Structure 1
Amino acid sequence: MSTRNRTPPLLEPYLRLPSEGSQLLLTGVLDSSPQWLVTRLLRSAFAPSEETESPDEQDVSVVLVSWLRDHEFWKSEARRGAGIDLARLAQQDKFVFVDGLTHLFPVTTSNTATATTSSPTASQTAQRSLPVRNAPASPLPSRGGPLPSRGPIPSRGPLAPTPSQPQAQVQQQPQQQPAQPSKTTHLTDASILSTHKTLSDKLSSISTAHPTRKIHLILDAPTLLLSTSPTPSASALSSLLLSLRSLVSTTTLVLEADSPFLSAALADTNHNPTPLEAAHAAFVVQQAHISKWVLSLRPLDTGKARDVSGVIRVSRGGAWDDDVEEDDEKDQRKELEALYFVQNDGGVRVFERGEASVG
């Protein structure tokens, strides 16, 4: 496995699939997106572990629901950054993508196009109403001198009939293969009830097809549903998440933690938060309390650097005490804060402060 596609050793214990029934929370801001953490989590779910010699993949299905990024983005990032083929995994029913972006607010243009093509424009109507006059025929331009003499036409072979040439070209073209049905599920309604029905039906169908297989659910930016609701409610979104968690083995949340979104949770705020700000802040705080680990990304406090992309902080969530893992594994997972650097080829280096940017 290339070092470009591997998980940084410092973060490998935290990017494994959570234990049964637990939740992992990934937060980021505008300048520090946690998408590379998601691709490394996908790699730990599908690729064999680097610490063992077993080539077998885990028997797990990952359902990725994204409200901000489409399928092509995740397919490209997973191949470039983690070295996994999501298209192949989708054919094996191990990866399911639910698109909450492209079909959520469709734009209807059929009525406008019909009105444009059916009714003539004003200029066309005016041109049709003008009388047609017989214009005098213009004489042909005269040639400056006698025509050159032409010799006998050379003999040529028989010419192929003109109508048969297009038919031959059509026959030579290979027949197009029928398009394969897409395995992508689309969310077409932004309401909580419709989202719950679509996702629960999809999860139930996976459980029915593979009863012994574990299901890991990844929700990328579900707080968009708060923005599409006339009355944003953190409790309604939390109820949706709890209902979905009962249908899967483990869950990962990817949420925005920008200051405008979390300003309502600060005690020293100087302005009255909007209902959207209050609901977003309440939802993020609730999920941090019920998550096992929280991995947060933020830019450098001193500004941008050429060899550092940002800071990653790993902290225990409110549900860390509910874990039943062994003590030796708990000792390996301690809270930390490190620097990370995302390279142009998709590789990521994570290193502690004062150390070289290796691994």
Structure 2
Amino acid sequence: MQPLAPLEGNPKLNPKAGPGSSNAAAGAAQAGSNARRASHSSSGRPDPLSTITHASASRIGPGVIPTGLRITPHDDLTPEEKAKRLAAYAAVDEHVKPQHKVIGIGSGSTVPYVVERLCQPPHNNSNSDRWYIPTGFQSKELIVKAGLNLGDVDQFPTIDVTIDGADEVDDELNAIKGGGACQLREKVLAEAATHFIIVADSRKDSKVLGHTWKQGVPIEVAPFAWAKVFVNLQKMGCENPALRMGKMKAGPVVTDNGNFVIDGVFSESYMRDPAELLHRIKMLTGVLEVGLFVGMAEAAYFGYPDGTVLARWQDGRRQKVDATKGLEIAEQGKKV
């Protein structure tokens, strides 16, 4: 059996690689690192690169160079996807300012359009001095692919703006989240943010939670305690709680934190008081987080198939928002 071929450019693994090639590669890497440190040291913010290797998205994953985001021409999208894009664009344009240096990126089908807009003018002019914090694997991949600076809430426990999707939003901007099993990390980033903004298409806009999202409240639980929590939920009056099972996988869904998810359907009488329901579920031993986001959102943006975007604010204001900025790039299907 022949031995595996040594890795190119590593003198420890490839005897044929001369010291010159190794030194050149090391020098280039060090120069790039020093340049990045210099660009961030003047901002007065902590520099994670000084202590943490691979903090930059451009150095994570199998590829050294980010591939960028390919923008689908707007006319090629379905009406629902157009609505999501417009809601995301409007939220970014209204709430992400040049002075914002730490941005939380949520999860779900609308969030790719958030990152898409952040990579377009004028927002991309601030990206070299900005850090992006993901709520899960999906948003981390988006940040990496776009070549943005990847950070973590450990480094930046205070976030300027977090923009996230939702499964359903009621009249008071309370939301159900966790359809993608990211509710724990999503709530951490929502609480850490000075401004928490929701983006969704109009199908997620509801009077009372549970009217359109029929799958139930996502509840993240410690794996060894799921059966006990399951029984407790039944005693509370939960209708048919279900341990969420994986697709293309034998067994239950496992969150990014290594936990299980129980989806609990509650009657409208419970859902009309989401704060009380959240408190009761959260008090059950074994429950780590509940996908009820109560009183957290500052505003929510809903895109409609006719091209309009409705912004609803926590104080009850409603207004139509111009979401056409950036569409000239999207309509051309450019790469950003």
> Highest CA radius of gyration, 1 or 2?
1
Q: Larger RCO: Structure 1 or Structure 2 (Cα < 8 Å, ≥ 6 residues apart)? A: 1
State the TM-score, normalizing by the size of structure 2: 0.31
